[in-house]
């Protein structure tokens, strides 16, 4: 009787978890580790969702922050859809990296940091029609260029995708 109870409890508990936000997605590259999560797996007209990118550069690596330079800034790029509007990405304060060879000071991230991308579900007829085709996907990518103290690597992209349920 006990194994049946545990199995039933596990199934019920799993259903409760699935109604919450999807589990974070982890991506490891040679430059950094990114854990991407979304605030909620359910969408409704007028609702705001937040995508969070917890980024940890690998030892000795840095990526570029917004600033007064021409380097590729780490950026969240959400694929456009008729059912939402994307707000500007929220960036944390950066640190200054000094390139000794060029005597250049540049805004970077070399320590763990968090990017937040807010998306608001629209209440338009086109959005409501798109939401009626639930489940729907929210897709995009994190684009960056990483460098260490000797080499700047080719720009990279980490795809992200969340399947959402319309309420």
Q: What is the pLDDT of residues 3-50, one digit of tens each?
A: 433 333 333 333 233 345 666 788 889 999 999 999 988 888 899 999
Rounded Cα distance between 64 and 96, Å, is 10
pTM of the model: 0.82
Low-confidence ranges of the chain (pLDDT < 70): 1-23
* pLDDT at site 15: 29
Contacting residues for 94 by C-beta, under 8 A, at least 6 apart: 65, 66, 67, 107, 108, 109
Prior bond to 107 cis, omega within 30?
no
- For the chain, domains (ranges, CATH) are 21-166 (2.60.40)
């Amino acid at each position: 009787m006990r194994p049946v109870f545990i199995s039933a409890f596990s199934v019920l508990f799993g259903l409760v978890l699935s109604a919450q936000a999807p589990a974070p997605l982890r991506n490891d590259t040679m430059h950094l580790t990114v854990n991407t999560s979304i605030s909620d797996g359910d969408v409704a007209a007028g609702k705001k969702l937040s995508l969070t990118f917890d980024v940890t550069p690998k030892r000795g690596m840095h990526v570029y922050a917004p600033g007064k330079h021409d380097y590729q800034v780490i950026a969240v790029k959400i694929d456009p859809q008729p059912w939402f509007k994307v707000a500007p990405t929220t960036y944390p304060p950066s640190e200054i990296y000094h390139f000794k060879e060029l005597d250049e000071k540049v805004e970077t991230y070399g320590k763990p940091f968090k990017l937040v991308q807010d998306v608001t579900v629209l209440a338009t007829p086109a959005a409501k029609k798109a939401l009626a085709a639930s489940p729907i996907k929210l897709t995009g990518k994190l684009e960056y260029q990483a460098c260490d103290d000797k080499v700047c690597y080719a720009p990279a992209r980490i795809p992200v995708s969340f399947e959402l349920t319309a309420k």
